[in-house]
Amino acid sequence: MLLFRDEEHVDRWCAAREIRRGAVVSLDQAWRLAHGWYRDKAKPFWRRHTVGEAEALFKEVGLSGPFWSLRG
């Protein structure tokens, strides 16, 4: 996952590599996603999210649809 100045830079990066544009998310969404994903990672009781938990996190952050499905 890369940071870009704006969506025009995303499109230029994708075009240069002939890859389809993926999903563009705001920094606020990315922060909330990272926080939910990693906040317990360094703690002894950490465990992996279940598929349901991960998808619930995506949804909570406003990320839904086929791109964010883990059941593909």
Partner 1 sequence: MIQLADPTGDLATEVRVTLFSVAAATGRVPQAPELARTLQRSESDVRAALRQLAAARALILAPNDGDIWAASPFCAVPSAFRVSALGRLYFGICIWDALGIAAAIDAAADITAPCGDCGAPMRLEIRDGALARTEGVVHFAVPAARWWDNIGFT
- 3-state secondary structure at position 1: coil
The CB-of-60 to partner 1 minimum distance in angstroms stands at 14
Report the half-sphere exposure of 7 (CA within 13 A, side-chain side): 6
Of 67, 32, 21, 62, nearest in space to 9 by CA: 21
Is residue 18 a contact point for partner 1 (CB under 8 A)?
Answer: no
Instruction: Output the smallest distance, CB 30 to partner 1, in A.
Output: 4
Q: How far is the CB of 8 from partner 1 (least distance, A)?
A: 9
Q: Taking CB under 8 A as the rule, does residue 60 contact partner 1?
A: no
